[in-house]
């Protein structure tokens, strides 16, 4: 049976942070926009926050790792040789389960090719993105403190920084002893009531946010897009993007999971916002679409990650408050005297609840069962905190997303396979990062600390670095990239990619601020160029 057809000006695949921003901008411009989302709405009561067993749920059905969650029919299978895969299929995407850290990339993150040549330069600069950072911040009510001396000057954040809790105050003193930079972390968390949403009340259960204080895009951006008339279709699993005889994207075929029927949406412009795994998977499954360069799926970036959990002899109520309120960019820039290129960042985080701490939160430090349990718990509970060191990993064409040759999902689409291994430069950085984490633990006067390098007994790096970047990267020429500086596919001029798969480098910080700013920039370009894009047969001139 032929699929039922619809027609739209713009078709968006994916309703996460970037898909919602694109939908809002283009809907508000008066365009007819259809957005397909393979998951559904995540209601407040679905979150673990309102359940007595919330700590267990965070490790099982509410895990951010798609391969740990059980029983979520909105997921699609992903096989990985070493990586955790942070994604959430549903309205708002991974903002349903993320941590909301919102730091910006640095100017140097956009020009690594010029700096050392082991990564390409972006075709855009920090200055090109800066005004969109400001506007994306206002859109979601980012909290923070302007004036960080390690960053270019920019406008004040819409809401003040979240309060520094006990762990952050203790770590700030440690950084001061070491003479290292620290600053309140910008966060996608409103510290005061904002845009009809309630301020963060510091419950400490940060796995997304049931009340929307941490910017869950289903509550912060989608209401604006829906008010503008966007047609959001949930439980719509896209099977392939269709290509016309003229070489342009014609639309997409999807399964309406509510009825099991095939449907098709034709559109003048198609935007893919399906994340760093979902986007290359869909392009590869659509007859290798937009892949004349061979770069689709390659250059997967996660961030190089190590961690330290530490405990001090001071009650800190470390299980409360926003999950992360302190950042340090002391080692963010390249210094080849350290033995590697690129840099890294420290994210300082709170600990989990009583059950999570007793069973090991950021490390393998667990309370003994039976004798000694209460003594251990009294010494450790509420007195611990963690520091993640997050580094800028170098791209490798062998770190990639491919399609399984043998396994397909329930809808017949080949299963995505991830392969990732840190290179020699990344491993040298990891060793240096671990040494600096020891410096921090000693400066906090910790009575105990545990390092975590995420390397298993077989020497495999089991990275929980979560971020899915670089698999359809942006570039200056079509031979080494998938999209140009406007997120427009070199091969298919009416096909745009607006998620983090377009990242050329990973930077040293969480990517959400940058991917939202880039999505806003791309959407406004599509809006302003829509008349030309309706018939373009090659990428528009810069």
Predicted local confidence at residue 273, as pLDDT: 98
Confidence grade of residue 59 (pLDDT, cut at 50, 70, 90): confident
Mean pLDDT to the nearest integer, 33-39 = 97
Q: SS in 3 state form for 270-336?
A: EEECCHHHHHHHHHHHCCCCCCCCCCCCCCCECCEEEEEEEECCCCCCCCCCCCEEEEECCCCCCCH
132 found inside a domain: yes
Q: What pLDDT shows up at residue 541?
A: 58
- Average confidence (pLDDT) over 233-246: 96
Q: Are 186 and 143 in contact (CB under 8 A)?
A: yes
Rounded to whole angstroms, the Cα distance separating 326 from 15 reads 30
pLDDT band at 536 (very low <50, low <70, confident <90, very high): confident
Which percentage of the chain shows pLDDT scores above 70?
99
pLDDT at 247 > cutoff 70: yes
pLDDT band at 58 (very low <50, low <70, confident <90, very high): confident
Q: Is the pLDDT of residue 418 over 90?
A: yes
The domain tally of the chain equals 1
Give the pLDDT score at 1.
54
For residue 2, pLDDT beyond 70: no
Domain annotation covers residue 514 = yes
Range of the domain at 250: 1-43+81-100+103-141+215-299+468-542
Task: Find residue 452's DSSP bridge partners.
Answer: 307
Residue 350 covered by a domain: no
In angstroms and rounded to an integer, the radius of gyration of the C-alpha atoms of the chain is 22
How far is the C-alpha of 314 from the C-alpha of 322, rounded, in Å?
Answer: 19
Q: What is the pLDDT of residues 348-389, one digit of tens each?
A: 998 888 888 888 888 888 999 999 999 999 999 999 999 999
Nearest in space to 295 (alpha carbons), one of 487, 81, 475 = 475
Provide the token pair at 109. Answer: 């993150």
Specify if 63 maps to a domain. Answer: no
The answer to whether 29 and 21 are in contact (CB under 8 A) is: no
User: Predicted confidence band at 229 (pLDDT cuts at 50, 70, 90)?
Assistant: very high
pLDDT tens digits for range 132-144: 999 999 999 999 9
Count the residues in the chain: 542
What CATH number corresponds to the domain at position 287?
Answer: 3.50.50.60
Contacts by 249-258, CB closer than 8 A, 24 or more apart: 249/289, 249/492, 249/494, 249/495, 251/11, 252/11, 252/13, 252/36, 253/3, 254/36, 255/411, 257/38
Within a domain: 32: yes
pLDDT of 459 strictly over 90: no
- 310 and 441 Cβ atoms separated by less than 8 Å: yes
Interval 113-125 mean pLDDT: 97
Residue 456 lies inside a defined structural domain of this protein = no
Q: Which of 291, 298, 287, 278 is nearest to 15 (CA)?
A: 278
Beta bridge partners of 183: 327
Residue 473 maps to a domain:
yes
Whether 318 is covered by a domain: the verdict is no
């Amino acid at each position: 049976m032929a699929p039922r057809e619809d027609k739209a000006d713009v078709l968006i695949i994916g309703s996460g942070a970037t898909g919602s921003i694109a939908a809002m901008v283009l809907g508000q411009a008066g365009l007819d926009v259809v957005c397909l989302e393979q998951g559904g709405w995540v209601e407040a009561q679905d979150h673990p926050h309102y359940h007595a067993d919330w700590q267990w749920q965070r490790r099982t059905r509410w895990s951010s790792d798609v391969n740990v969650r059980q029983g979520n029919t909105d997921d699609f299978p992903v096989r990985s040789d070493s990586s955790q895969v942070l994604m959430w299929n549903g309205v708002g995407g991974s903002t349903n389960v993320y941590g909301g850290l919102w730091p910006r990339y640095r100017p140097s993150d956009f020009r690594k090719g010029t700096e050392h040549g082991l990564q390409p330069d972006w075709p855009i600069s920090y200055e090109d993105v800066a005004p969109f950072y400001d506007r994306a911040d206002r859109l979601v009510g980012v909290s923070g403190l302007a004036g960080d001396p390690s960053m270019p000057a920019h406008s004040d954040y819409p809401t003040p920084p979240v309060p520094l809790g006990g762990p952050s105050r203790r770590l700030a003193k440690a950084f001061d002893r070491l003479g290292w930079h620290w600053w309140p972390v910008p966060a996608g968390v409103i510290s005061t009531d904002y845009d009809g949403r309630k301020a963060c009340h510091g419950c400490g259960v940060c796995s997304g946010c049931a009340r929307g204080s941490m910017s869950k895009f289903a509550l912060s951006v989608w209401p604006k897009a829906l008010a503008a008339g966007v047609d959001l279709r949930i439980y719509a699993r896209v099977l392939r993007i269709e290509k016309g005889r003229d070489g342009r994207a014609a639309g997409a075929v999807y399964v309406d999971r509510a009825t099991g029927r095939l449907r098709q949406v034709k559109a003048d412009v198609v935007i893919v916002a399906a994340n760093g795994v979902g986007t290359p998977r869909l392009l590869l499954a659509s007859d290798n679409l937009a892949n004349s360069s061979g770069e689709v799926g390659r250059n997967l970036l996660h961030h190089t990650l190590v961690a330290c959990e530490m405990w001090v002899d001071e009650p800190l109520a470390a299980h409360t408050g926003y999950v992360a309120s302190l950042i340090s960019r002391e080692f963010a820039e390249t210094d080849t005297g350290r033995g590697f290129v690129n840099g890294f960042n420290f994210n300082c985080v709170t600990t989990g609840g009583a059950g999570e701490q007793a069973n090991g939160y950021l490390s393998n430090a667990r309370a003994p069962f039976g004798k000694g349990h209460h003594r251990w718990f009294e010494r450790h509970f509420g007195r611990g905190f963690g520091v993640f060191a997050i580094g800028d990993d170098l791209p490798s064409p062998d770190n990639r997303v491919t399609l399984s040759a043998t396994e397909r999902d329930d809808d017949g689409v080949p299963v995505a396979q991830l392969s990732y291994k840190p290179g020699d430069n990344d491993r040298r950085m990891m060793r240096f990062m671990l040494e600096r984490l020891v410096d921090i633990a000693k400066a906090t006067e910790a009575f105990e600390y545990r390092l975590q390098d995420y390397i298993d007994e077989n020497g495999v790096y089991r990275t929980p670095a979560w971020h899915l970047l670089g698999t359809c990267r942006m570039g200056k020429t079509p031979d080494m990239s998938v999209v140009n500086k406007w997120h427009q596919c070199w091969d298919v001029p009416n096909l745009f990619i607006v998620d983090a798969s377009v990242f050329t480098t990973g930077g040293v910080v969480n990517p959400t601020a940058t991917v939202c700013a880039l999505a806003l920039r791309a959407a406004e370009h599509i809006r302003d160029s829509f008349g030309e894009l309706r018939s373009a047969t090659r990428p528009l001139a810069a």
